[in-house]
């Protein structure tokens, strides 16, 4: 008996040791890459270098488009990367060689296409949708994923801890970086006019509130069964203008913006479109089957207690 207990003890401590070792393995993070060599120039408004011709140290203004926000870089999904994992190591010397400008850059699909590790994101399907979207049709390969997703800062839009308003703001900033009047980025691609969003959407009441509560893609892309985020942005004539598409019990928001949340909580509560209720009140879209029933039951229960109470009093008095 004793030996049995002893070997059981050894077995248990073995398992314990294994568990602690493996869990330690997981919590051990790779040290952050040292990108100081690049960020000492690309992290600031000014940079300095030694002018080899005059032998003097010079200070210059950095092109604002070439400045990286270190903090945002560290929050992104690629924060374990050194700059020269994606950019050529020749960038370590300054002045940068002129031909570096001509070097093709890695796109998202170069690393993620066909990679089973990322199957759940459906990169290949997204890529096909982008090709067939208004942008793909008008601009072809020039309209890369990077037009919307900054590889330096890319962070998953959805997270349980993020409020819908935050998710919406991040997604909409991608579009308004181009689709607003004064946005130069638009003119990198097109000679037509980047419209004014206030005018184009003047038909929508409470436009400010709507733009805070829904993403542009809710109205501008088709619903996708397999993708969490549909990338098929359609021409303006096919955009959603009908209020009932959202303001109804089978609101399209449940298959778009609230798709993640919906998966988690649709069946948890008795609410129709309950996932929405935590974050906003969408007239017509959130209702509850059971609320009425529950209130009637509660009401009758209270009524019964009062009756019972009265009954006891009468009995006890006697």
Residues 106-125 within binding reach of ligand HEC (CB under 6 A): 106, 108-112, 121, 123
- 210 φ/ψ angles, rounded to the nearest 5 degrees: -60, -45
183-190: Cβ within 8 A, 24+ apart: 189/139, 189/142, 189/143, 189/147, 190/138, 190/139
Give the residue among 172, 174, 256 at the shortest CA–CA distance from 210. Answer: 172
Q: Using CA atoms, how far apart are residues 185 and 316, in angstroms rounded to an integer?
A: 84
Give the nearest distance from C-beta 256 to ligand HEC in angstroms: 8
Give the residue among 290, 227, 295, 299 at the shortest CA–CA distance from 256. Answer: 227
Is 181 one of the binding residues for ligand HEC (CB under 6 A)? no
Q: Is the dihedral of CA 146, 148, 153, 158 positive or negative?
A: negative
Is 86 one of the binding residues for ligand HEC (CB under 6 A)? yes
How many residues make contact with ligand HEC (CB under 6 A)?
104
Q: Using CA atoms, how far apart are residues 122 and 127, in angstroms rounded to an integer?
A: 9
The CA-atom distances, in angstroms, between 249 and each of 58, 230, 288 are: 64, 21, 10
User: Is 129 within 8 Å of 227 (Cβ atoms)?
Assistant: yes
Is 97 one of the binding residues for ligand HEC (CB under 6 A)? no
In this chain, which of 132, 162, 169, 210 binds ligand HEC, going by CB under 6 A?
210
Is 211 one of the binding residues for ligand HEC (CB under 6 A)? yes
Q: Which is nearer to ligand HEC, 220 or 261 (CB)?
A: 220
Is 101 one of the binding residues for ligand HEC (CB under 6 A)? yes
In whole angstroms, how large is the CA radius of gyration of the chain? 29
Q: Which is nearer to ligand HEC, 114 or 235 (CB)?
A: 235
Is 258 one of the binding residues for ligand HEC (CB under 6 A)? no
Chain centre distance of CA 82: 23
Q: Which is nearer to ligand HEC, 9 or 89 (CB)?
A: 89
Footprint (CB under 6 A) of ligand HEC, residues 24-83: 35, 37-42, 47, 49, 62-63, 65-66, 68, 73, 77-78, 80-81, 83
In this chain, which of 169, 189, 272, 277 binds ligand HEC, going by CB under 6 A?
189
Give the residue among 178, 164, 196 at the shortest CA–CA distance from 260. Answer: 164
With b for 16 or more beta-carbon neighbours within 10 A and e for fewer, the 98-108 pattern comes to: eeeeeeeeeeb
Name the maximum alpha-carbon separation found in the chain: 114
Is 126 one of the binding residues for ligand HEC (CB under 6 A)? yes
In this chain, which of 132, 162, 222, 239 binds ligand HEC, going by CB under 6 A?
239
Q: Using CA atoms, how far apart are residues 11 and 13, in angstroms rounded to an integer?
A: 6
Residue span binding ligand HEC (CB under 6 A) among the ranges 50-58, 240-248, 290-298, 302-310:
240-248
Residue span binding ligand HEC (CB under 6 A) among the ranges 21-29, 208-216, 261-269, 291-299:
208-216
Is 145 one of the binding residues for ligand HEC (CB under 6 A)? yes
Q: Which is nearer to ligand HEC, 189 or 272 (CB)?
A: 189
Residue span binding ligand HEC (CB under 6 A) among the ranges 6-14, 15-23, 280-288, 302-310:
280-288
Give the nearest distance from C-beta 269 to ligand HEC in angstroms: 19
Is 223 one of the binding residues for ligand HEC (CB under 6 A)? no
């Amino acid at each position: 008996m004793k030996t049995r207990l002893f070997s059981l003890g050894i077995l248990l401590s073995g398992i314990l040791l294994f568990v602690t070792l493996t869990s330690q393995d997981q919590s051990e993070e790779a040290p952050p890459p040292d990108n100081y060599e690049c960020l000492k120039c690309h992290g600031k408004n000014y940079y300095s270098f030694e002018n080899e011709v005059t032998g003097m140290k010079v200070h210059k203004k950095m092109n604002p488009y070439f400045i990286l926000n270190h903090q945002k870089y560290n929050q992104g999904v690629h924060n374990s990367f050194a700059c020269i994992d994606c950019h050529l190591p020749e960038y370590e010397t300054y002045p940068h060689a002129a031909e570096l400008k001509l070097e093709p850059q890695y796109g998202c699909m170069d690393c993620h296409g066909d990679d089973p590790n990322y199957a759940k994101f459906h990169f290949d399907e997204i890529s096909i949708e982008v090709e067939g979207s208004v942008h793909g049709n008008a601009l072809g390969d020039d309209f890369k994923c990077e037009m919307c997703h900054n590889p330096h800062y890319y962070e998953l839009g959805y997270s349980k801890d993020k409020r819908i308003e935050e998710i919406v703001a991040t997604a909409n900033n991608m579009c308004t970086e181009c689709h607003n009047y004064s946005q130069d980025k638009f003119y990198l691609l097109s000679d037509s006019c980047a419209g004014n969003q206030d005018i184009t959407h003047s038909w929508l009441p409470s436009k400010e509130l709507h733009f805070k509560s829904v993403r542009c893609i809710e109205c501008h892309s088709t619903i996708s069964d397999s993708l969490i985020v549909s990338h098929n942005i359609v021409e303006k004539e096919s955009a959603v203008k009908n209020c009932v598409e959202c303001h109804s019990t089978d609101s399209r928001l449940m298959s778009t913006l609230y798709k993640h949340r919906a998966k988690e909580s649709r069946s948890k509560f008795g609410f129709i479109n309950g996932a929405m209720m935590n974050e906003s009140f969408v007239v017509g879209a959130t209702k509850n089957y059971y609320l009425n029933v529950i209130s009637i039951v509660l009401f009758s229960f209270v009524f019964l207690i009062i009756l019972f109470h009265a009954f006891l009093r009468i009995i006890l008095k006697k």
